[in-house]
Structure 1
């Protein structure tokens, strides 16, 4: 009886190529799902950060019977406010330009950082105090707290890291639905309490936060659940993103009269509508971009307004500091997170009803205003604008 011989069969080249092709197709099909799952996880982490910040605001209010001040700190003690406020730089004081996040550090698990800030610092260990308690002005790179990256203040979907920014933040306070003299905040009221400038300044301060002024929950007449406390912003990647870098003042924008003017000037790249094109005027300094300094109360760094809907362009008429129109923005698909004053977090889409984006910004008639945007009127920027005002008495009848 003949014995059959065992023969070892291997894969042919064709069979191997077929298997590899099938694996490639499966990877191609699964990769978008994996990426979507990762982004969903990052978005949830971002929402959790915001919830912790909201809890910190409420704990702060419970402790001090008021919300933290946006634009607090130390000055030179002189009688002239402009000597120590606003645009000055100093190692001896911080010009009262600390953001709300500085005061919140002990309330979102950053007690160690607060201890550094609230005590004098000898950063070079030579036995001489280099910086006073509460620190210098915010551009001082040798002052470690100002360049510290706080995980609670960063959205995992934003890849921005390092210089030229200092400690970055993806969260910002809401200054409401106006864009006139917001760089002065309550400073105008202090300097000229009897003047028209004071009245003009007050008229535009319609949000949950006002620069240099401490507000309480009771000031939010519209209701804590109907008023935005904070929102997401992006940090700049040096890529001419319209949401993180404004046009240079030579661009001729006038967002006071038309918030959409930067879009209509024709400087946006038609092939990449999220970026300024090659014809756009020169960029401002890279350090003056969105979210570049968590500890600074400057509007581009830690504030936004509800004039243009989320993820629209950052637009200013004179320089980056004035920043009349600076919307919320994020790297999440289709919208941004907002923190309401009651501590809840909502995801708002870019398509939220936002009224007339060409309507002039809210300000007093003495500065050229007309009836369609006088203070006291409902927000001209729809549901989005109404959510930004703390005392507009608008009725919020739509689900977010």
Structure 2
């Protein structure tokens, strides 16, 4: 007799329980929380390296330019016609930055050909733009509104209007703001061009213009008597984002109340223009009298104006932009700045790129600048009042740098 057996098969459940899923999700969340800062730090390190490489290329461009022409590119070079009114665009009013002449040396030959040769204006009329371009605030001129990748730091998010063509790098003009916008020609960009009293202007510029570059004048490597490896020629700058950042939006016309920025470099700080609760930003209201929205730091790569393409070694890195004059092209304390953590890059005269921290020794930031009528430690020929930082910005003041930086 055949027996039949009933076999019960127990069903095996596949998958995770709710508790197991929650545990796995929690573990993944913890891992992401731990790894994300590391990934972000790695990305910033890569951006910072790319920024350093840009500066290295620009430093080599300066050396190649010097080899070709036996001088450094002129800060405030270009064309002028005596008595030419503002806005005529018959001349660029000797307002070209060093980057214009350097364009063929950092792989922008095509752009240089447009600038150096007359080209038709935007309306297509028979009247062309002048050789070496019109005034640097002319938005209808193509080269002036072109963004050049070599002049941009990947860590800086600024882009587009109201800027024209941005730059994150600028020329070093030394440790004094006196005559930094005029040089030996005495040219002021917001007035009609005239050349007069050249002997007086030359005296003033010789005493105060102590950097590797001098407005409207030529300099050579042989003029850097302190040594190329001890003298800054280029520096990094952050561009403005429209957020009242003290590093990127100049406070103007601060000499109107009596004491000047030249006499007191941190004038804007001790006058209370910086927000005490948010010390990287200006207080709201007036003062401070801030520059127009289209006149932010680094907003015109082709312009030599102080806010656009100059640095000084007076206030330490990432400090405020404080101007004596009422224009962003006038005189002011304009230090290096960046979107990196804790400092900014500079290029030395020998082409070396260094990252200088905000805490670099900067002497007495309350001390007046060196200039022709200065006395005591502000007399012509004095060592820089601004410590190691100031000494690195002067080309021939005979300071001895006996420590690494």
TM-score tier (shorter): over 0.9
1:173 counterpart SS class: strand
Deviations 1:150-196 (A, max 9, x none): 0000111111111111000000000001111211112139632433x
The whole-number CA distance in structure 2 between the counterparts of 1:285 and 1:352 is 31
The whole-number CA distance in structure 1 between the counterparts of 2:238 and 2:48 is 14
The whole-number CA distance in structure 1 between the counterparts of 2:56 and 2:66 is 15
TM-score (norm 2): 0.92
Deviations 1:305-337 (A, max 9, x none): 000110000001232332321111111100010
The whole-number CA distance in structure 1 between the counterparts of 2:130 and 2:399 is 45
1:114 counterpart SS class: helix
Equivalent position to 2:80, from 75, 85, 90: 75
1:218 counterpart SS class: helix
Structure 1 residue 243 corresponds to structure 2 residue 247: yes
Deviations 1:226-267 (A, max 9, x none): 110000111111000001112242684721111011111112
RMSD: 1.8
Match of 1:310 in 2: 317
> What does 1:1-400 correspond to in 2, within 5 Å?
2=7, 4-76=9-81, 78=82, 83-84=83-84, 88-124=86-122, 126=124, 128-188=126-186, 191-195=196-200, 197-249=201-253, 252=257, 254-281=260-287, 282-319=289-326, 320-365=328-373, 369-400=374-405
Task: Please say if residues 267 and 279 of structure 1, whose CA atoms lie closer than 8 Å, have aligned partners that are also in contact.
Answer: no
2:359 counterpart SS class: coil
TM-score (norm 1): 0.93
Shift of 1:280: 4.4
**Count, aligned residues:** 389
2:31 counterpart SS class: helix
- Tell which deviates more after alignment, 310-319 or 170-179: 310-319
The whole-number CA distance in structure 2 between the counterparts of 1:355 and 1:378 is 11
2:42 counterpart SS class: helix
The whole-number CA distance in structure 2 between the counterparts of 1:292 and 1:90 is 22
1:194 counterpart SS class: helix
